[in-house]
Each structure stands twice: as C-alpha cells, then as structure tokens.
C-alpha cells in the first residue's frame, strides 16, 4: 500500500507577502493615527490613536490653553484623534492668517452637526454662496448706520431694567437677561420680551439645545464613525435625539416667527426689525424664506447670551473694583448730571464709561475660545509649518485677551485710551494688532452684530452706573463674602458663576427719576407689553419726516 499524498494546494509565498505588507500598512496607519507630523506647529507630545485627546481638561480648559500657549508659542497644534486643532495665541498670527488670508480661513470645520437642519446655521456653515448671502444681510441690516435706528428699543428696555433693579435688586441676573433678550427679540423680530414664556422660551430652549449639540462629539474626533452615526436608529443614540429636538423647534418656531412678521407687514405694521428688512429686500442676493427664517433666529441666539454674560461680568467687576466704580460715577455725574438718564449721544463725552465697556469685554469674555472655530479650504504653509486643510483654527480668546502688560487679571479701564474707544470699530479693528480684545472674533467671521451690541451695552451700563451702587455682600459677622473673580461656567460660551451682590440706589432723586421715566414709558405699551402703533409713529415715522 503506497503512502498517501497531501493534495492540499500550497499557499503561494506571494500571498503571504501581500498579507504581511497590508498588515504593516494597517499597523503603520493605526500607530500614526492621532500623531502630530513633524512639519506641523508644535504642541504637547501625542500618543497613537488618541493624539492629545487624553490631555484635554474636562473643565476650565482656557487655563490649560494659556499654559500650553506660554510653553509652545504663538501657534500650536493639538491632535484630537482624527481632528487637528490649531490654537492661535498671538495677535500677529490672527492678522497673518484670518485677516491677510481671510478667504482661505473663513470656512468651518466639518462637524457632524452640519448634516442636520439643512446646514442653515450661519455659525456652522462654510463660506459658500448661501453663507455669503446670509452674511451680507447682517452687514446691510445691522451696520453702524442701521444700528442707530434700534437705539430707542435699547433705551426703552433699559428704563424697565432700572425699575426692576429698584424693585428686586437680588434678582439682578434675571433682570439683565430679560433686558438683553428683549432687545434681541425687538431688533430681530419687532416684539418685546416681557417674561420668559411663549415664543421667547422656545427660542431660549433652542439656543440651549444647540449650544449643547455644538460641543465636539465622538464622531468629530473619529470621522470614520460617520456611517454608523448616520444609519443608527435615533432612539438608540442620545445625540441624534438631541438633534431631532432641535430640528422640530427650527421647523416649527422659525417659520412661525417669519410668518408672523409677514402678517404684520401685510397689516401695515412695517416697523424696524431685522426680519422685516430681509423680507422687504429687493436685493438680487435676497435670501429664500427658509433662509430668512433661520438667519433671524440664529441672530437671536448670538445676541442674547453674549450681552447678558458681559453685563454679569461688568457688575462683578464693579463690586470687586470699587475705585473703578467711583471714578466712573464721578465722570457720569459731571457729564450727565443728576436730573436725567444717560443717552447714546452722551457717549462721546464719557471716555471712562467707554473704557469700562471695553475692559468688561476683555476681562470677562463670553467665549474663552472661539465658540465655533475657523477652518481652511486648502493646505497652507505658515512660517514653515504645514496647516492641513480642514483643521479647526481656534482663536484662543482668553489667552489673547490676557496678552497685556501690568497684571492682565486686574480690571483696569485705563488700558483703553479715549481716542481709541471713540472709534465705533475699536472692538473689531481690522488690524488685530490694535485690538483691545478678541471677544467678537476676527477675520471674515467677526461678529456682524457688533454695532448693535455696543449700543446696547453702553445704554444699559451707563444708566446702571448713573443710578446704582454695586457693593460686596457681607456675612453675618460683617465680613465680605468671598468672590472668585475668574470663576465661570463650563463650555465654550460662558458666564460668571452666580455671585452675591448688594445693589442700592445712589439717592432718592435718582429713584424718582427712574420711577417717573418708567411710568411714562409704559404709556407706549399695549396690553401684551409690546409697543403701540403710536410709539412707532412718534419715534420712527416722525423722525423720518424731519428735514
């Protein structure tokens, strides 16, 4: 009997070689995933897959960003798994990249949130044709000249703010929020905010949900997970459930608000508002109705929290720096006097008040880093470093705002000269080297509502300083209750954590003026707390008829 022969075919050596080559390539890619190439801006050491993700702080990230900036220089890179984050820590870098190469760096990172809601949110959208038309509406309808027409809204609601401060000073945070929210809703839609209910509550809910959804997700760090995220049922994924809630609000509320504006126009109530101007626009670049509805609502989100947070920072500064408060009140008493409330026209003669506003924006920025980072459309080389296409370009606001001499964490209005603050563009100077702060962003994505915000802040802050004293609260032993001046809420958009304050009227004469002013102002309101037609006729129409 012969030996059995093994008839199993041999596995050719070339196949084993191919498998080995593929294995090496895959292993190389895995081991290099998240690693920083040597030709990119420096940063902390990376590890495979995670890069620097494991080093990202879970809270107070702005302090760590400043520490890294001091260690690695004006421009640095963090590798967050598959995402490249570039921190711009110096004014020169901002000028060179966001300003001189503005078109290249005006895009947005490709975040997963953009796949929902038709990508209508101007904050997340790339600088394509739709974004250009969205942005153009802000430039045309909220520029310096147009912003002046909204001053009556800000003056009116600041009068209510003063009266509320007299009634319940302990609720100052809520009063400041109502003021900024009401100004935003009136400027954007033409209706006031008298309470936290109804349409305003829906808008605030949408804003909170969107802010939560905008935080970087696992899929943003590991883009290869996108197919799974797209096709995974919504009920199995909390993040998609959150996006679905946002979508429902946008599809219902945004359109409802726009249709309400259309109805008002049809009824002849053509009063100043951003949505009115967009609807009546005959410009060749006019937005579609859906784009108009989204553009107005997203403006509301940008206008409310930022001013509220800044004003909370201002009150905190006045409590912690009584000498600054005293100097401001000496100036306002000298220029305005005791018999009337300050008005926008006083701004020219109140350089110290102007400086306080700019220092508030520098000292307690509402965004510790760019709320939504810039990105670039193609690979770029800067000072010999490669910056890859699609990188997230973060304006390191906290670090930039503290790149000043003489104790950056001291609240010091003298940093801002009278000639500089007199300029309407001081806070958004196109030359970054002349900027007092970067709270409003930079480049082609700089805040388009800056001029409205400046008028709202000046009107409220000058009137609060005219009418009130801001004092430290004492404990039962008469000792001032400690306040951590730099403690803020967590996230990219922040506000000071709640702090104790005593707010008192400066004298009874001012109290009477505030009460009388609010009593007179209420004659211009209807039963719902909105402006009467007589108010618009008197304030706007008659003004247009003047020679």
3-state secondary structure 74-120: CEEEEEECCEEEEEECCHHHHHHHHHCCCCCCCECCCCHHHHCHHHC
Q: Which residues contact 163 (CB under 8 A, 6 or more apart)?
A: 514, 515, 517, 518
The continuous run of DSSP H or E covering 392 comes out as strand 392-395
Q: Are 229 and 240 in contact (CB under 8 A)?
A: yes
Task: Tell me whether residue 232 is annotated as binding.
Answer: no
Total number of residues shown for the chain: 547
Distances (CA, A) of 400 to 42, 265, 453: 18, 45, 21
Pairing relationship of beta strands 392-395 and 83-88 according to DSSP bridges: parallel
Q: Which residue stretches of 254-347 are H helix?
A: 255-266, 274-280, 289-320, 322-335
Distance (Å, whole) CA 428 – CA 522: 36
CA angle 106, 127, 234 (to 5 degrees): 110
Distance (Å, whole) CA 457 – CA 169: 19
Q: Which residue stretches of 372-480 are H helix?
A: 397-401, 418-422, 450-467
CA angle 508, 509, 515 (to 5 degrees): 85
Counting Cα atoms < 13 Å in the Cβ hemisphere of 502 gives 10
Backbone phi, then psi, for 375, in 5-degree steps? -145, 175
**193 DSSP assignment:** -
| Pair of tokens at residue 66 | 């400043």
The continuous run of DSSP H or E covering 240 comes out as helix 238-249
Q: Are 461 and 353 in contact (CB under 8 A)?
A: yes
What residues form the annotated binding site? 447
Please state the residue numbers annotated as binding site for heme: 447
């Amino acid at each position: 009997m012969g030996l059995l022969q093994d008839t199993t075919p041999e596995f050719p050596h070339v196949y084993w070689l191919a498998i080995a080559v593929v294995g090496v390539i895959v292993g190389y890619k895995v081991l290099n995933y998240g690693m920083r190439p040597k030709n990119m801006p420096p940063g902390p050491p990376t590890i495979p897959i995670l890069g620097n993700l494991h080093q990202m702080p879970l809270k107070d990230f702005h302090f760590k960003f400043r520490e890294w900036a001091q260690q690695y220089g004006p421009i640095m890179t963090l590798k967050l798994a598959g995402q490249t984050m570039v921190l711009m820590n110096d004014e020169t870098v901002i000028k060179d990249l966001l300003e001189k190469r503005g078109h290249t760096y005006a895009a947005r990172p490709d975040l997963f949130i953009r796949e929902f809601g038709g990508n209508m949110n101007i904050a997340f959208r790339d600088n394509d044709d739709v974004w250009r038309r969205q942005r153009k509406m802000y430039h045309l309808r909220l520029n310096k000249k147009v912003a002046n027409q909204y001053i009556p809204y800000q003056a009116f609601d600041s009068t209510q703010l003063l009266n509320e401060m007299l009634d319940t000073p302990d609720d100052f945070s809520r009063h400041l929020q109502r003021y900024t929210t009401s100004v935003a809703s009136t400027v954007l839609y033409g209706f006031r905010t008298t309470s936290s209910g109804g349409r305003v509550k829906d808008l605030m809910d949408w804003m909170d949900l969107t802010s939560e959804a905008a935080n970087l997700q696992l899929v943003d760090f590991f883009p290869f997970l996108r197919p799974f995220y797209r096709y995974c049922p919504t009920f199995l994924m909390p993040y998609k459930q959150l996006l679905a809630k946002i979508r429902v609000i946008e599809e219902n509320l945004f359109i409802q608000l726009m249709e309400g504006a259309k109805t008002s126009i049809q009824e002849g109530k053509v009063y100043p508002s951003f949505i009115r101007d967009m609807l009546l626009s005959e410009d060749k670049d006019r937005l579609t109705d859906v784009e108009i509805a989204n553009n107005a609502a997203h403006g509301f989100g940008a206008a409310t929290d930022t001013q509220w947070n800044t004003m909370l920072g201002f009150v905190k500064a006045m409590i912690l720096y009584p000498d600054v408060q005293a100097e401001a009140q000496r100036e306002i008493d000298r220029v305005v006097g005791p018999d009337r409330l300050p008005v926008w026209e006083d701004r020219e003669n109140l350089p110290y008040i102007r400086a306080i506003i700019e220092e508030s924006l520098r000292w307690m920025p509402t965004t510790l880093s760019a709320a939504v980072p810039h990105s670039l459309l193609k690979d770029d080389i800067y000072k010999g470093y490669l910056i890859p296409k699609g990188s997230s370009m973060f304006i390191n606001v906290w670090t930039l705002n503290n790149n000043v001499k003489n104790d950056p964490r001291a609240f010091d209005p003298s940093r801002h000269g009278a000639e500089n603050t007199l300029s309407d563009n001081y806070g958004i100077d196109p030359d970054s080297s002349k900027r007092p702060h970067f709270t409003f962003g930079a480049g082609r994505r700089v805040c388009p509502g800056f001029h409205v915000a400046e008028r709202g802040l000046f009107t409220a802050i000058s009137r609060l300083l005219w009418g009130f004293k801001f004092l430290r609260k004492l404990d039962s032993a008469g000792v001032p209750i400690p306040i951590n001046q730099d403690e803020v809420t967590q996230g990219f958009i922040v506000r000071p954590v709640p702090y104790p304050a005593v707010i008192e009227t400066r004298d009874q004469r001012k109290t009477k003026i505030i009460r009388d002013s609010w009593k007179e102002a209420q004659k211009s309101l209807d039963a719902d707390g909105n402006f009467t037609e007589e108010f618009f006729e008197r304030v706007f129409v008659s003004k247009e008829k003047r020679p």
